[in-house]
Amino acid sequence: MTSRTLHPDEYWKLTGTEMETIWPHLDPSRSVVLVVEDGEQIVGCWALLAVAHLEGCWIHPAYRKRTSVARRLLASMWQAAREIGARTVVTSACSADVRAMVAQLGGVELPGEHFSMRVPCQLQ
């Protein structure tokens, strides 16, 4: 078995894996796809993605039914995303209001449960 980084020209080989719906959206300059192969067959894969991740969307309760705050936050956020070269952003929704806003903006719920892990300073 071998472990290697999959070249973007080979991403099509991820068809049939958990990555098959994800690889078409990857920006090869901001992602690394790792594979384990047994001969020519991919037997394991995992992708490291540099994504723009939004968190902490909040509007004061007295301003939640007004659209001006949300509109201003969105305009600023889209501009900031463009400035860093992001083509997509990821966010969580911790309230029904944010969930509705994200859905209205075309947000798609990601499958599975998402976690945060610290990278160890050295291999264990």
Task: Identify the pLDDT of residue 124.
Answer: 59
Determine how many CB atoms are found less than 10 A away from the CB of residue 18: 12
How far, in Å, CA of 54 to CA of 84, rounded?
A: 13
CA-nearest of 68, 57, 53 to 98 is 57
How far, in Å, CA of 35 to CA of 95, rounded?
A: 37
Task: Identify the pLDDT of residue 42.
Answer: 96
How far, in Å, CA of 5 to CA of 42, rounded?
A: 12
Task: Identify the pLDDT of residue 107.
Answer: 87
Task: Identify the pLDDT of residue 15.
Answer: 94
Torsion of CA 39, 44, 49, 55, to 10 degrees: 180
Task: Identify the pLDDT of residue 123.
Answer: 65
pLDDT string in tens for the chain (124-residue length): 999 999 999 999 999 999 988 888 888 888 999 999 999 999 999 999 888 899 888 889 999 888 899 899 999 999 999 999 888 888 988 888 888 889 999 888 887 888 888 888 776 5
Task: Identify the pLDDT of residue 81.
Answer: 92
Q: Where are the domains of the chain?
A: 2-49, 53-104
Q: Is beta strand 52-54 parallel, antiparallel or unpaired with respect to 89-91?
A: parallel
